[in-house]
């Protein structure tokens, strides 16, 4: 809110630019962007997907979208440090609220998420989704393949491979990339998984830069190796917050020691400027286990790096706010 009492999440006229305002008041839309379901002239839509019934350990990620939005409001008064430009000067970004699904009909939830995503991207904007557990990436990717063709290239930050097979064809937040690869939605040969540190002998052909490799070889080598594989392919970027070490992100359902620091993760994303990002999500923030909102804050900063990547992608046609 400004000195005249305007809540910019509702009263903002231009969809561009960053407004300095008290960070403790007003509606908690993502980064205090306009809250609307009118996508005319919009470059990127932010939406929440508050699902956590596909978890294998602690639930609570259904509150992730709300937690990320609240944390983002603390840093919404200025562009993130070190960016060459404010993403909101180039991208018209709005928050459309959360995907609705009937929790009492779990079998219908994947189709509801896919339809929600398709309704947005079919109108033109890109999509940044806030989870929710990591299963949501599966219907989100299916929606993106309708627009961009399949298979997509996956850029996946995580402590877990999420490629475990299940003989009963069930899909949860640990098997969805097994099925995404098997069903041809993503191409393992061009995809990169960063930060893994749980054992799964079958990589399915995914290129893995695990957490020990990143620590041993450094940020620059990680960026170079990822760029080599990603090339100019259309990239779906998915970030499980448990990619970060629990010291940086305790508020998640399946924490694993030995992960990336927030500095490493943010620097790797910043170093990948120029890749062809077509869709993005950040998932598995569970505020009930957080400490001082540091997990949600990390997620909001990572989401901003994703928007920066989207603004810098070679196929970008945005820029009417310059």
Can you give the residue ranges of every domain in the chain?
8-312
Whole-angstrom distance, CA of residue 102 vs CA of residue 306: 29
8 Å CB contact between 162 and 193: no
Sequence-distant (6+) residues with CB within 8 A of 168 are none
Domain 8-312: which topology? Answer: 3.40.800
Helix (H, G, I), strand (E, B) or coil at 95: strand
Could you list the pLDDT tens digit for every one of the 322 residues in the chain? 555 567 878 878 888 888 877 778 888 999 999 999 999 999 999 999 999 999 999 999 999 999 999 999 999 888 889 999 999 999 999 999 999 999 999 999 999 999 999 999 999 999 999 999 999 999 999 999 999 988 999 999 999 999 998 777 778 899 999 999 999 999 999 999 999 999 999 999 999 999 999 999 999 999 999 999 999 999 999 999 999 999 999 999 999 999 999 999 999 999 999 999 999 999 999 999 999 999 999 999 999 999 999 999 996 544 433 3
User: What does the angle CA 249 – CA 253 – CA 256 come to, to the nearest 5 degrees?
Assistant: 60
User: What is the structure's pLDDT at 46?
Assistant: 98
Alpha helices in the chain (DSSP H): 8-11, 64-72, 87-90, 109-121, 137-148, 176-182, 211-217, 219-230, 262-271, 294-312
User: What is the structure's pLDDT at 321?
Assistant: 38
8 Å CB contact between 15 and 94: yes
User: What is the structure's pLDDT at 212?
Assistant: 98
Q: For the sheet with 126-131, list strands across it.
A: 34-35, 93-98, 44-49, 126-131, 277-283, 235-240, 153-157, 192-194, 207-209
Written as six digits, the tokens of 158 are 């995580």
pTM for this predicted structure: 0.94
Q: Is the omega angle on the peptide bond into residue 292 within 30 degrees of 0, that is, cis?
A: no
Helix (H, G, I), strand (E, B) or coil at 316: coil
> How does DSSP classify residue 241?
G
Torsion-angle region of 163 (φ positive above 0: left; ψ -120 to 50: alpha; else: beta):
alpha
User: What is the structure's pLDDT at 24?
Assistant: 81
């Amino acid at each position: 809110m400004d000195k005249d009492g305007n809540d910019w999440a509702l009263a903002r006229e231009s969809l561009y630019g960053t407004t300095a305002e008290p960070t403790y008041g007003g509606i908690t839309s993502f980064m205090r962007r306009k809250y609307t379901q009118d996508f005319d002239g919009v470059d990127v839509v932010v939406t929440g997907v508050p699902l956590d019934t596909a978890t294998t350990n602690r639930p609570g990620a259904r509150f992730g979208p709300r937690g990320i939005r609240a944390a983002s409001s603390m840093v919404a008064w200025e562009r993130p440090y070190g960016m060459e430009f404010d993403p909101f000067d180039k991208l018209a970004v709005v928050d459309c609220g959360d995907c609705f699904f009937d929790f009492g009909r779990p079998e219908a939830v994947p189709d509801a998420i896919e339809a929600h995503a398709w309704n947005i991207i079919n109108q033109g904007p890109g999509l940044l989704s806030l989870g929710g557990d990591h299963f949501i990436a599966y219907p989100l990717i299916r929606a993106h393949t309708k627009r961009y063709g399949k298979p997509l290239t996956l850029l996946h930050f995580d402590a877990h491979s999420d490629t475990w097979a299940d003989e009963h064809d069930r899909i949860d937040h640990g098997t969805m990339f097994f099925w995404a690869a098997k069903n041809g939605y993503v191409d393992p040969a061009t995809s990169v998984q960063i930060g893994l540190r749980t054992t799964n002998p079958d990589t399915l052909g995914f290129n893995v830069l695990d957490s020990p490799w990143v620590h041993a070889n450094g940020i620059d080598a990680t960026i170079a190796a990822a760029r080599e594989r990603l090339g100019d392919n259309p990239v779906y970027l998915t970030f499980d917050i448990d990619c970060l070490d629990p010291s940086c992100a305790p508020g998640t359902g399946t924490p694993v020691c030995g992960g990336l620091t927030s500095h490493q993760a943010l620097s790797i994303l910043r170093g990948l400027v120029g890749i062809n990002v077509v869709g993005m999500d950040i998932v598995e923030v569970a505020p009930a286990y957080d400490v001082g909102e540091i997990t949600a804050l990390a997620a909001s900063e990572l989401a901003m790096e994703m928007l920066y990547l989207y603004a810098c992608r070679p196929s970008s046609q945005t820029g009417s706010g310059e």
